[in-house]
Homo-oligomer: A and B are copies of this chain.
Amino acid sequence: MKIAIVGATGAVGHELLQVLERSSLRFDELQLYASPRSAGSTLPFRGQDLTVQVTPEGAIPADLILASAGGSVSKALAPAWVAGGALVIDNSSAFRYDEGVPLVIPEVNGEAALSHQGIIANPNCTTAILAVAVWPLHRAFGVRRMIVSTYQATSGAGAKGMQELEEQTRRVLNGEPAQAEVFAHPIPFNLIPHIDSFQDNGYTKEEMKVVWETRKIFGDERLQISCTAVRIPTMRAHSEAITLELERPATPEQARELLGQAPGVKVVDDPQAKRYPMPLNASGEYDVEVGRIRQSLVFEGGLDLFVSGDQLLKGAALNAVQIAEYLQQHGALKAAEPARTTVPR
């Protein structure tokens, strides 16, 4: 099996290489594509230096394309990739809301991936981190209402977002005024309650993505979800404060036990020992940290929790590779021939 990464030199592309290196996915060849600006550079992968090629206008000679070059690139080129026989796992929002496109988090709705028509969408980072943590509770207790406030890292705007945070923080500490190019306002020692474009209803697209995507992934259009999405001056893990109204009452102990057994989740919930989810610890981790689990004070039998997950991993690269792993495990993706020895996680 041949895999291609489109957008290999971006922040998510970088993580895709790291995750693939540790993945049990069996494949024979890895091709890297990016814009002409980055083409010709090399990236290391399992001891080799792979050369980055210019993303072609048409088909790509690969069985699986992991696309992470933005919505406009995916929108323009994915149909040609599919026509050329490739399966596309797309990290952009270009196809997420299309009826024939499964939107997949393997821990939640992996089986949806099996019914693709050439394109599988990878969810928005905030949604992915949220859904992994909330799904086990939804299945056991039935979420009726969900109120989410996010604390999103600058990595959500790619490598240049993290770079702007670092460079502009240096400026501020040197007594110079901060400038903003990637973000709408200076980000050092500030927050910005504005991610993606504003919609007619006053919510941002980022906030509505959480509503639309969680409903689609959970397969439950009745779910009532409200989100406030806020950019804060952190590097690469998103955090979220979540309040849940449940159909069947749950105790924090029940939630802790359930989440302790849930895949993709790490319960970090020992307040007396000062252990709770934080970007500092969640960055670089595959699992989403869940903690501060407590009985809701506004919904009887409801729950409050706090999560922190790596935006570039479960929020992007890791989930994409996990979709591919799921497909291969279910015989829905060619394996390499002969099978290669793989580096265990």
- Complexed CA–CA distance, A241 and B228 (Å): 7
How many copies the complex holds: the figure is 2
Determine which of B198, B243, B272 lies in contact with A271 in the assembled complex, contact meaning CB atoms within 8 Å. Answer: B198
Interface residue? A166 (CB, 8 A): yes
| Chain B residues within 8 Å of A173, by CB | 166, 169-170, 173
Q: At the interface, is chain A mostly helix, strand, loop or mixed? A: mixed
Q: Is the pair B230, A241 in contact by a Cβ cutoff of 8 Å?
A: yes
Interface residue? A250 (CB, 8 A): no
Determine which of B202, B233, B243 lies in contact with A226 in the assembled complex, contact meaning CB atoms within 8 Å. Answer: B243
Interface residue? A252 (CB, 8 A): yes
Interface residue? A224 (CB, 8 A): yes
Interface residue? A278 (CB, 8 A): yes
Q: Is the pair A203, B298 in contact by a Cβ cutoff of 8 Å?
A: no
Interface residue? A149 (CB, 8 A): yes
Q: Is the pair A191, B297 in contact by a Cβ cutoff of 8 Å?
A: no
Minimal beta-carbon separation of A149 from chain B (angstroms)? 3
Minimal beta-carbon separation of A255 from chain B (angstroms)? 11
- Complexed CA–CA distance, A295 and B297 (Å): 22
Q: Is the pair B191, A232 in contact by a Cβ cutoff of 8 Å?
A: yes
Which of A149, A170, A280 has the most C-beta atoms of chain B within 10 angstroms of its own C-beta? A149
Q: Binary interface profile of A, 51-82, with partner B (CB < 8 Å = 1, else 0)?
A: 00000000000000000000000000000000
Q: Is the pair A184, B234 in contact by a Cβ cutoff of 8 Å?
A: no
Instruction: Report which A residues bind B (CB closer than 8 A).
Output: 145-147, 149, 151, 165-166, 169-170, 173, 184-186, 189-194, 198, 201-203, 211, 224-226, 228, 230, 232-235, 239, 241, 243, 252, 271-272, 274, 276-280, 291-298, 304, 306
Having A228-B292, A230-B241, one finds 10 other A-B pairs with CB under 8 Å, namely A151-B230, A191-B279, A193-B292, A201-B294, A202-B292, A202-B293, A203-B297, A211-B297, A228-B243, A232-B233
